[in-house]
Amino acid sequence: MMILVFLWASISGAASVFAASLEELCTTFHTRNTLLKTQFQGLTLDQPSVTSQPVYNSSTTGQIFWPDYSGFDFCNVTFSYSHNGLKQDKVLLEIWLPAPKRFQNRWLSTGGGGYAINSEEESLPGGVIYGAASGQTDGGFGSFGTTVDEVILLANGTLNREVLYMHGYQAHHELSMIGKAFTRHFYDMADSEKLFAYYQGCSEGGREGWSQIQRFPDEWDGAVIGAPAIHLAQQQVNLLYGNIVQQTKGYVPPPCELEKINNLTIDSCDALDGRVDGVVSRTDLCKLHFDIESTIGASYFCPHSKDTSLIQNGTVSSKGVAVAKKILDGLHTIDGRRAYIWAQPSATFDYVASTFNPLSHEWEPEINSLSGGWVTKFLELRDVDNLSDLDDVTYDTLVEWMKIGWQRYEDVLQTTWPDLSPFQETGGKIIHYHGESDPGIPAGSSVHYHESVREIMYPDLSFEESTRKMNGWNRLYLIPGAGHCSYSSSQPNGPFPQTTLKTLIDWVEKGHEPDKLNATVLQGSRRGTEEELCAWPLRPLWKGNDSHMDCVFDLRSYDTWRDSFDAYKLPLY
Ligand SMILES: *[C@@H]1O[C@H](CO)[C@@H](O)[C@H](O)[C@H]1NC(C)=O
Ligand SMILES: *[C@@H]1O[C@H](CO)[C@@H](O)[C@H](O)[C@H]1NC(C)=O
Ligand SMILES: *[C@@H]1O[C@H](CO)[C@@H](O)[C@H](O)[C@H]1NC(C)=O
Ligand SMILES: *[C@@H]1O[C@H](CO)[C@@H](O)[C@H](O)[C@H]1NC(C)=O
Ligand SMILES: *[C@@H]1O[C@H](CO)[C@@H](O)[C@H](O)[C@H]1NC(C)=O
Ligand SMILES: *[C@@H]1O[C@H](CO)[C@@H](O)[C@H](O)[C@H]1NC(C)=O
Ligand SMILES: *[C@@H]1O[C@H](CO)[C@@H](O)[C@H](O)[C@H]1NC(C)=O
Ligand SMILES: *[C@@H]1O[C@H](CO)[C@@H](O)[C@H](O)[C@H]1NC(C)=O
Ligand SMILES: [Ca+2]
């Protein structure tokens, strides 16, 4: 059987595939044959595992990272491979290959979020609609639905290092390497033909994207990277910070009180950008000009169905404001040295959770399990899903946890390597975006990394000159009013960039520099309105509700984004 397949391959040659239809290519015979030609040292691709299935007239609607699109056909291929020498090792890939007449010589790798390394098919249409073969990996964790935290421990005390490194960067490297070769053979591309390679992902998926750009620079032509969790050791602990502020200050504000403080912040800072639209497009000006203590005494009311004990009715207290202010200030050691940052003002306090205890009639801190599970599994190596309490945890404990995670995972999960010269030299392009009101991963985290890269790569150039050079290949766009990898319901008039991969493709393949990034309002009464986003370090400014937006630079605003992390002796990039 093997011999026959080889024979068929050598007789059929290139021409037969060239004009083939989707039905002709999307067969087990052709995909197995394609896999046979796809060979890598150290990996065994499993022929019998191949599945392939044509999917016709598919559509994608209601996504935020790309527009609605219907009527596309693709070949859905899955197969597994293993690493030679490892026992019980199986990594599953899924690749969607556009119908041959729609294929545009492009590859797209897609990533995950939270502890997931993929988005279970949700991200794949985002490439297929632009003629890209698009892939996802299960990381070798057991199935596309299995997340890394479920398999990171072999037993209490024993880290699964294979899983760790696969998650950190290796699985994505293999996905793109195998996926690109498979795609070339599937369509029978000539060696001289260029296959453009792209990445698109947000949050953990953004971290995965940076892991590839930082480590495998010549594998990529471009990446669209959203709100990346790159300072992972800091980030995973940071979501406990709000709880520790509540605990330290001895006051757990009812969620409604924090929501009211945030609503008043949005109301007060809205106009600072020059346009009254319910969107704080300049959180930096909000930092400079808004006094959060002005919210003390405002009354709040949050009705709740049925359970009357949950009706929150009161006035914003000085204690509540003290908690909010301390959270916004970001984590410092007890003696006042900065260890990390929090979200920008106007971001919701969604990651400062509390639960109502009906017995005591009080609100109590609720541990975020993403963070709790990081501490138990990745730091303490205990196979339990969440911390059971935060007894004796102080600001210094959080800083200590950040340091332990940073040092232990510096070479695998901390994804902040700041020298991207090899990528820049190959001509690669980056569009990096971050919701300015992201409540979970601070927008400042993206700004900080972006500025670290600029300073490391262009140490001898002026601010203006180095910024100009960076924008020639690596651009950062903050999205006014947007939350974590999405728009935010508390600032419904804010836009979200929905055609970013197309913009990147035009930049890479046609040289169209994205001076500004297109974005669309995706909810509320202004739904469908097109806007543009300024490229960092320029910031939007309107001169009135109906006026044109200018992208301006002002040093005082810029300085509010620059922090020095003096809790550490090492530089945090
Ligand atoms: C394709 O799907 C759409 C619905 O998304 C349907 O209206 C249309 O009839 C379908 N076309 C074909 C050729 O099946
Ligand atoms: C793609 O193929 C896999 C494996 O057969 C299957 O589980 C999945 O549902 C398929 N997806 C689509 C969209 O057909
Ligand atoms: C791992 O340790 C936790 C306590 O930290 C315990 O609850 C659990 O049962 C242990 N698991 C195993 C498999 O021993
Ligand atoms: C905050 O504003 C939103 C509208 O944007 C409203 O639905 C909500 O009730 C407000 N919350 C409070 C506590 O006033
Ligand atoms: C801008 O719009 C807001 C709300 O739509 C309105 O209250 C305000 O008066 C307007 N400002 C100007 C200068 O038109
Ligand atoms: C909130 O409480 C005040 C007094 O505590 C009361 O006068 C008011 O009616 C309450 N509002 C609502 C909507 O329940
Ligand atoms: C994490 O554990 C805490 C404390 O046991 C609990 O309050 C919280 O609901 C848990 N979180 C999740 C998402 O399970
Ligand atoms: C951005 O929007 C403008 C105006 O709607 C449009 O002409 C342009 O093609 C868009 N650019 C991209 C890359 O989609
Ligand atoms: Ca505004």
pLDDT digits (tens, 9 = 90+) for 114-137: 999 999 999 999 999 999 999 999
Q: How far is CA 254 from CA 20, 71, 381, 414, in A?
A: 63, 48, 33, 34
Structural contact between residues 381 and 156, judged by C-beta atoms closer than 8 angstroms: yes
* Binding site membership of 8 for ligand 6 (Cβ less than 6 Å): no
Sequence spans of domains, the chain: 235-412
Among 13-27, 199-213, 274-288, where is mean pLDDT lowest? 13-27
Q: What stretch of H or E contains 137?
A: strand 132-137
DSSP structure class, residue 31: H
Is the pLDDT score of 308 beyond 70?
no
Residue in the structure block whose two tokens are 């696969």: 166
Could you read off the pLDDT of 477-489 as tens digits, one per residue?
999 999 999 999 9
What pLDDT sits at residue 5?
41
What pLDDT sits at residue 306?
63
* 176 SS3 class: helix
Going by CA atoms, what residue is nearest to atom 4 of ligand 3?
A: 382
Phi, psi of 226 (to 5 degrees): -110, 140
Q: How far is CA 247 from CA 318, 442, 538, in A?
A: 16, 22, 38
Which pTM was predicted? 0.95
Structural contact between residues 496 and 481, judged by C-beta atoms closer than 8 angstroms: no
Going by CA atoms, what residue is nearest to atom 13 of ligand 8?
A: 503
Active site annotation includes 466 = no
Q: What is the mean pLDDT of residues 414-443?
A: 98
More confident residue, 8 or 364: 364
Choice among 172, 176, 484, 490 that is catalytic:
484
Residue in the structure block whose two tokens are 């990529």: 220
Q: What is the mean pLDDT of residues 185-210?
A: 98
Is the pLDDT score of 54 beyond 60?
yes
What pLDDT sits at residue 88?
87
DSSP structure class, residue 58: E
Q: What is the mean pLDDT of residues 15-36?
A: 86
Active site annotation includes 438 = yes
Phi-psi map region of 392: left, alpha, beta (phi>0 left; psi -120 to 50 alpha): left
Other Cβ atoms less than 10 A from the Cβ of 546: the count is 7
Cβ-based neighbours of 215, under 8 Å, separated by 6 or more: 169, 173, 417
pLDDT band at 307 (very low <50, low <70, confident <90, very high): low
What pLDDT sits at residue 267?
98
pLDDT band at 248 (very low <50, low <70, confident <90, very high): very high
Q: How deeply is 342 buried, as exposed, middle or buried, from its count of CB atoms within 10 A (0-12, 13-18, 19+)?
A: buried
What pLDDT sits at residue 310?
84
pLDDT band at 184 (very low <50, low <70, confident <90, very high): very high
Q: What is the distance in A from the centroid of ligand 6 to the CA of 364?
A: 23
DSSP E strand boundaries for 392-494: 429-435, 474-479
Q: What is the distance in A from the centroid of ligand 9 to the CA of 541?
A: 9
β-pairing, 312-315 vs 69-83, is unpaired
Phi, psi of 192 (to 5 degrees): -80, -15
Report the atom number in ligand 3 closest to the C-alpha of 156.
Answer: 1
pLDDT band at 305 (very low <50, low <70, confident <90, very high): low
Phi-psi map region of 544: left, alpha, beta (phi>0 left; psi -120 to 50 alpha): left
Q: What is the mean pLDDT of residues 160-182?
A: 98
What pLDDT sits at residue 304?
74
More confident residue, 22 or 18: 22
Report the atom number in ligand 3 closest to the C-alpha of 155.
Answer: 13
Report the atom number in ligand 5 closest to the C-alpha of 546.
Answer: 14
Q: What is the mean pLDDT of residues 99-127?
A: 98
Among 274-283, 296-305, 416-425, where is mean pLDDT lowest? 296-305
What pLDDT sits at residue 326?
98
Active site annotation includes 432 = no
β-pairing, 196-202 vs 106-110, is parallel
Structural contact between residues 60 and 108, judged by C-beta atoms closer than 8 angstroms: no
Is the pLDDT score of 6 beyond 60?
no
Going by CA atoms, what residue is nearest to atom 5 of ligand 2?
A: 51
Is the pLDDT score of 8 beyond 90?
no
Phi, psi of 243 (to 5 degrees): -60, -40
Is the pLDDT score of 53 beyond 90?
yes
Q: What is the distance in A from the centroid of ligand 1 to the CA of 184?
A: 30
Report the atom number in ligand 3 closest to the C-alpha of 380.
Answer: 5
What pLDDT sits at residue 3?
42
Q: What is the distance in A from the centroid of ligand 9 to the CA of 380?
A: 44
Q: What is the distance in A from the centroid of ligand 6 to the CA of 363?
A: 19
Could you read off the pLDDT of 227-236 as tens digits, one per residue?
999 999 999 9
Other Cβ atoms less than 10 A from the Cβ of 47: the count is 16
Bridge partner list, 109 = 135, 199
Q: How far is CA 291 from CA 29, 329, 345, in A?
A: 68, 13, 11
Q: What is the mean pLDDT of residues 91-109?
A: 98
* Binding site membership of 421 for ligand 2 (Cβ less than 6 Å): no
The count of residues in the chain is 573
